[in-house]
């Protein structure tokens, strides 16, 4: 199975490097080993296999909506690469336990707190689910922002390479500072995480987090 994963990942990486002009130098800032939560924006389909294949052979996995397993091809690929199915719009405890397990095993786990694909490329207001995972696992987080992939389909139709940019921020931990983690605190925590992502993006992609002057870091503890 490892050989099959390597062949598919290598072919995928080579194919995407032909179709895209990838500015990936900052991916070197992602540690070689986990546990680590990779916080990223979600603009389409191409960024997931692109970043995933560029990070391999590091132990890396991510999430996908459980409905994707209804498609035999996605089921085959997701099971092969240990992608975790998640039920959107509810507290999926089975998925949370699976995420905690892969982090315990030293994986890099990719998460998009927006919870769904933003069709314009601009950030949506994040859902606070990642807060519970970060606090329970005590795993560090790193923001990994990207842009350009939203043009992939239109560029492909015009036989044009897509310029795909990747930026990585500082590693930090989420710290409740001894406070009770209420609904309001969870939202502030995830907003602070998303502002770290927004600072890496060009202004037109910051969306709901364009007001960087209002960003706070109360619950973030940065790694020196």
CA angle 120, 126, 131 (to 5 degrees): 150
Mean pLDDT of all residues in the chain? 92
pTM: 0.93
Give the whole-number percent of the chain exceeding pLDDT 90: 74
Write the pLDDT tens digit of every residue in 153-211. 999 999 999 999 999 999 999 999 999 999 999 999 999 999 999 999 999 999 999 99
- Give the other-Cβ count within 10 Å of 148's Cβ: 21
Residue numbers of the domain that contains 105: 2-222
Distance CA(35)–CA(116), nearest Å, equals 24
Number of compact structural domains in the chain: 1
CATH code for the domain of 195: 3.40.1130
Helix (H) or strand (E) holding 85: strand 84-86
Write the pLDDT tens digit of every residue in 112-141. 999 888 878 899 999 998 999 999 999 999
């Amino acid at each position: 199975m490892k050989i099959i994963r390597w062949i598919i990942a290598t072919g995928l990486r080579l194919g995407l490097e032909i179709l895209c002009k990838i500015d990936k130098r900052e991916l070197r800032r992602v540690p070689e080993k986990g546990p680590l939560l990779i916080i990223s924006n979600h603009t389409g389909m191409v960024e997931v296999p692109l970043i995933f294949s560029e990070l391999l052979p590091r132990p890396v996995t991510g999430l996908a909506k459980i409905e994707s397993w209804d498609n035999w091809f996605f089921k085959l690929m997701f099971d092969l690469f240990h992608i975790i199915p998640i039920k959107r719009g509810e507290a999926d405890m089975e998925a949370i336990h699976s995420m905690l397990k892969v982090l315990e095993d030293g994986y890099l786990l990719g998460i998009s707190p927006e919870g769904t694909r933003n069709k314009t490329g601009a950030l949506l207001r994040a859902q606070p689910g990642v807060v519970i995972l970060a606090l329970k696992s005590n795993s560090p987080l790193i923001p990994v922002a990207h842009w350009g992939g939203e043009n992939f389909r239109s560029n492909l139709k015009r036989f044009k390479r897509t310029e795909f940019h990747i930026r990585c921020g500082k590693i930090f931990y989420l710290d409740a500072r001894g406070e009770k983690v209420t609904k309001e605190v969870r939202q502030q925590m995830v907003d602070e995480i998303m502002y770290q992502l927004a600072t890496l993006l060009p202004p037109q992609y910051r969306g709901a987090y364009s007001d960087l002057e209002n960003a706070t870091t109360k619950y973030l503890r940065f790694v020196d």
